[in-house]
Amino acid sequence: MSAEFPYRPGDGFSFERYVSAEDVRRFAQIVGDLNPIHLDEAFAANSFFKHRIVHGAFLNGLISKVLGMDFPGQGTVYIAQQSAFKRPVYVDTTVRVEVKVVEVLFEKRRLVLDTNVLNEKGEMCLAGSATVWIPE
């Protein structure tokens, strides 16, 4: 293998992001998911959640941002993602996105990563696993 592959289990990256009502509105418009649980406070108040919640796909998008821009970074190819939604993320709150290497497949230049999103209380909201390929 000609290009160095410096990744090791335990390597990772995290960042925090405030998810505003405007972010959720724009995301809903872009993807066409106008479910009122995300957009209508009166509707959400009468739901199980009692407040508007962020789209799960928005949270997966934040993971994609990390993989493609921060860690491993530009050039990374997203191969697979598994996600389990453990609790809601409410609109107008801050999340912490954490990505950590759990397995390195040197010969294939792939990484298996834990991909998690936590709320402001540090509670797991999205627990996931991703596989990425890093071209030479």
Predicted confidence (pLDDT) at residue 1 exceeds the cutoff of 50? no
The neighbour count for residue 117, using CB atoms within 10 Å, is 25
pLDDT given at position 4: 84
Strand order in the sheet with 124-133: 12-19, 93-105, 110-118, 124-133, 77-85
Q: What's the pTM? A: 0.93
Domains and CATH numbers, the chain: 12-133 (3.10.129.10)
User: For residue 4, what are the CA distances in angstroms to 17, 58, 82?
Assistant: 32, 33, 28
pLDDT tens digit string along 3-46? 789 999 999 999 999 999 999 999 999 999 999 999 999 999 99
Listed residue (133, 128, 17) closest to 72, CA to CA: 133
